[in-house]
Amino acid sequence: MTKHVPISFEFFPPKTDAGAEKLRLVHQELQQLNPEFFSITYGAGGSTRERTLAAIADFNGKGTPVTPHLSCIGDDKNRIAELLDLYKSQGIDRIVALRGDLPSGQVGLGELPYAQDLVRFIREHSGNYFHIEVAAYPEMHPQAENFDTDIKRFVEKAQAGANAAITQFFFNPDAYFYFIERLQKEGVDIPVAPGIMPITNANNLIRFADGTGADVPRWIRKQLQGYGDDSKSIQAFGHEVVVKLCERLIAGGAPSLHFYTMNTTDPTRKLVKDLGLA
Ligand code: FAD
């Protein structure tokens, strides 16, 4: 039997009223699984500021705590401070602090070019009020010079005051275990929650993976390609792969799991139920 670990769910802010209505239902359904928090992403340079705030307003105070993501690249300290103060006034005390990726065409890095600068700024501005999560990349951030430098940068985020981390999605548990081992050697022991991406659609998965530098191992790609348009088989195979991944991660000591829900209920709910984590 799988050991019980806490779970959390990620949403992105919907673009339309219909999307917002659907997400309210997804939120209600996933809330029944008793997550530790829901997180809401934030477009770099403030590009989803209003939509992120609208989603936060929808879910804050409705049971499970809500956790805004906050990115710093291309933004300025005043605007970030405003958001921190707003969240604090709303009783929100957990934040996912990120650098973000600038939309193409936008060039200015802003006053806080890297996530460790944002973490430091949050600590300067709000002291220890916020529980700060940062991003982690067991398979290396795609723009990092090399793996060792990327580990060093992660250590800087922890030293700047991050309390915990959530990883980019991955399918190779050994990459996660190696990453944790390297952090331990650096004396960093903040909890690192694996980010779990349900597999439901081969093309989308490969597109996301290519965009984020996550590796979809050949055996998974080949199997997905072999199913062609047979979405039932893709979903059944994807479910089995991700259940086994989560089981290995939990058995190996992962402190919690963070699910990239893609604003839908079923794939995540089925994973959580079959893992016995509801
Ligand atoms: P950083 O930790 O700043 O690292 C970015 C790169 O810079 C790395 O390659 C690092 O090695 C390098 N680096 C760090 N410091 C230095 C330095 N001093 N000099 C040179 N190089 C340096 N994006 C969004 O826009 N909105 C979101 O809501 C969002 N949520 C996310 C949630 C999770 C859990 C994860 C894993 C990612 C999320 N992202 C989001 C994507 C993220 O913003 C991108 O991956 C982005 O490219 C890096 O953000 P970071 O916070 O990891 O950056």
Ligand 1 atom at minimum distance from 98 CA: 51
Q: Return phi, psi of residue 188, to 5°.
A: -100, 120
In degrees, rounded to 5, the angle at the alpha carbon of residue 226 between the alpha carbons of residues 208 and 234 is 60
Exactly one of 10, 50, 82, 240 is catalytic; name it.
10
The C-alpha atoms of residue 262 and residue 23 are separated, in whole angstroms, by: 10
pLDDT > 90: percent of the chain: 92
pLDDT of residue 45: 82
Atom of ligand 1 nearest to the CA of 133: 34
- 41, 114, 168, 176, best to mutate for ligand 1 pocket (most atoms within 8 Å of CB): 114
The 8-class DSSP code of residue 44 comes to G
- 12: DSSP letter: -
Nearest-angstrom CA–CA distance, 79 and 114: 16
10 included as an active-site residue: yes
Helices (H), 186-255: 202-212, 218-226, 231-251
- CA distances to 12, 21, 105, 197, 250 from 138, in Å: 22, 35, 29, 14, 16
Domains (range + CATH), the chain: 7-274 (3.20.20.220)
Q: What's the rounded Cα separation, in Å, for the pair 50 and 81?
A: 16
Mean per-residue pLDDT, 149-171:
98
| CA 154 – CA 175 distance, rounded (Å) | 15
d(CA 64, CA 2): 23
pLDDT, tens digit (0-9, with 9 covering 90-100), for 221-251: 999 999 999 999 999 999 999 999 999 999 9
- Using most ligand atoms within 8 A of CB, pick from 9, 98, 260 the residue to mutate for ligand 1: 98
Task: Give the tokens for residue 258.
Answer: 């963070």
pLDDT digits (tens, 9 = 90+) for 38-96: 999 999 888 899 999 999 999 999 999 999 999 999 889 999 999 999 999 999 999 99
- Residue with the smallest CA separation from ligand 1 atom 32 is 135
State the Cα–Cα distance between residues 59 and 66, nearest whole angstrom: 7
Neighbours of 109 (CB within 10 A): 15
Q: Which residue has the tokens 């991700």?
A: 242
pLDDT band at 215 (very low <50, low <70, confident <90, very high): very high
Q: Which residue of 99, 137, 147, 192 sits with most ligand 1 atoms within 8 Å of its CB, as the best mutation to test the pocket? A: 99
Q: Which residues line ligand 1 (CB under 6 A)?
A: 41-44, 69, 71, 96, 98-101, 114-115, 135, 141, 143-144, 149-150, 153, 157, 166, 168, 195
Residue nearest to atom 23 of ligand 1 (CA): 100
Cα torsion at 249, 252, 258, 259 (round to 10°)? 10
How much distance in Å is there from the Cα of 46 to the middle of ligand 1? 15
pLDDT confidence band for 6 (50 / 70 / 90)? very high
Strands (E), 72-226: 94-98, 131-136, 164-169, 192-196
| pLDDT at 104 exceeding the cut of 80 | no
Q: How far is the CA of 226 from the centre of ligand 1 (A)?
A: 34
For residue 135, report the distance from its CA to the centre of ligand 1, in Å: 7
Whether residue 190 has pLDDT greater than 80:
yes
Which tokens hold the place of 253? 């000591």
What torsion do the CA atoms of 135, 136, 137, 143 make, to the nearest 10 degrees?
50
Ligand 1 centroid to 29 CA: how many Å? 30
72-81, 131-140, 159-168, 239-248: lowest mean pLDDT where?
A: 72-81
